[in-house]
Amino acid sequence: MAHVLFDPIKLGPLTLPNRIVMSSMSRDRSFGGLPTALNAHYYAQRAGAGLVVVESTAVSARGVGWPNTPGIFSDAQVAGWRLVTDAVHSKGGRIFCQLWHCGRNSHVLTQPGGARPVGPSAVLPPGTIRTLDGRKPLEVPHELSVTEIGGIVDEYRAAAQNARRAGFDGIQVHAGNGFLLDQFLRDSANLRHDAYGGTPENRCRLLFEVVEAVCSVWDKDCVGVRMSLTNPTVYFLHDSDPATLVATALRGLGMLGIAYVDMVEGSTTADPATHELDYPTLRRLFPGLYVANNGFDGLAKAEAALASHADMISFGRLFIANPDLPARLRAGAALNPLNKDFIYSPDHRGYTDYPFLDGIVDP
């Protein structure tokens, strides 16, 4: 039986050999914010994905949330990413950079000059965050002024420029999982009364401005957005009317003409506050490609989503443990189990040492 998952698909100027996206995943092995040859090996191992989206990558020093996550705001970071993009391209792959600003999910111990993390509103977020001194409770963020918001848009534009210099094929703007753009989108974190708060349109404003800034540097065919508007995440964000918010975001992104959205459908936590939405219907509001994510555990579920509403499927955890995931899914081979103890270990263990199928050579 033919499977759509292995059919090629056009993404802007690229032809992806399959509809499998490697979902962005932080792995905390970029020490001092610098991507390394170890990171390059990891991503090259996974170059069989139709598209690799690298882990969240900070657009500025203020955008960093916790130690050993990469950035793309210095020449040294651009040079580090060049190792990664060259390695993936040498294996015939395609690779997008996920641009990230953590907003309030950071800590004075991580921020430059011990500054307070920033956010849409000065409300105390629940939860904790990693620092060089262990996990610490989150703090009340500094509420961004309209002028400061303009500065953040500029940071995304500069980071998008740097991603070009680093050899990426495109950009995924991270507007999900509780980070800065998500904090503006959802009304549990955004209590503003100005043009960036209140109505869903106003709460989407920063996302749209960031996307426009990125599209001033990249062809819009090479730009995607990740969202997770029904996912409480480990940072406990929620919205009082997620269906309207998803619809507003999808309509606006459609008008901006970007290539795709990558939607974390449902929840990645067991939080009962999760709202399930009718994604197949909502998806029709967006004319570009729709990537479905969350909990795809193999071929059958992926094919069902492709048949109902998705153009591509992004796989997260399966890609940690299975560098050759597309080949395994195609062959119907067993999948390696995930070793949770080594997700964030500082070295190659649980990172580049998962076994390949017989006959596939580790690059």
Ligand X SMILES: Cc1cc2nc3c(=O)[nH]c(=O)nc-3n(C[C@H](O)[C@H](O)[C@H](O)COP(=O)(O)O)c2cc1C
Residues near ligand X (CB under 6 A) are 23-26, 55-56, 98, 174, 176-177, 226, 264, 268, 293-296, 315-318, 343
State in angstroms the smallest separation of the CB of 296 from ligand X. Answer: 5
- In three-state secondary structure terms, 101 is coil
Which of 192/277 has CB closer to ligand X? Answer: 277
Rounded Cα gap, residues 153 and 64, in angstroms: 15
Which of 192/325 has CB closer to ligand X? Answer: 325
State in angstroms the smallest separation of the CB of 199 from ligand X. Answer: 26
Rounded Cα gap, residues 211 and 171, in angstroms: 10
Which of 192/302 has CB closer to ligand X? Answer: 302
Single-letter code of the amino acid located at 362: D
Which of 192/229 has CB closer to ligand X? Answer: 229
State in angstroms the smallest separation of the CB of 98 from ligand X. Answer: 6
How many other C-beta atoms lie within 10 A of the C-beta of residue 86? 15
The helix/strand count (H/E) of the chain reads as 10, 14
Which of 26/190 has CB closer to ligand X? Answer: 26
Distances 334 to 49, 216, 298, 356, 359 between C-alpha atoms, Å: 18, 44, 10, 11, 15
Single-letter code of the amino acid located at 97: C
Which of 84/192 has CB closer to ligand X? Answer: 84
CB distance 16 to 48 below 8 Å: no
State in angstroms the smallest separation of the CB of 147 from ligand X. Answer: 28
State in angstroms the smallest separation of the CB of 355 from ligand X. Answer: 19
Token pair recorded at residue 195? 């043009």
Token pair recorded at residue 161? 């420029």
State in angstroms the smallest separation of the CB of 287 from ligand X. Answer: 23
Backbone angles phi, psi at 91, to 5 degrees: -95, 10
Residue nearest to ligand X (CB): 316
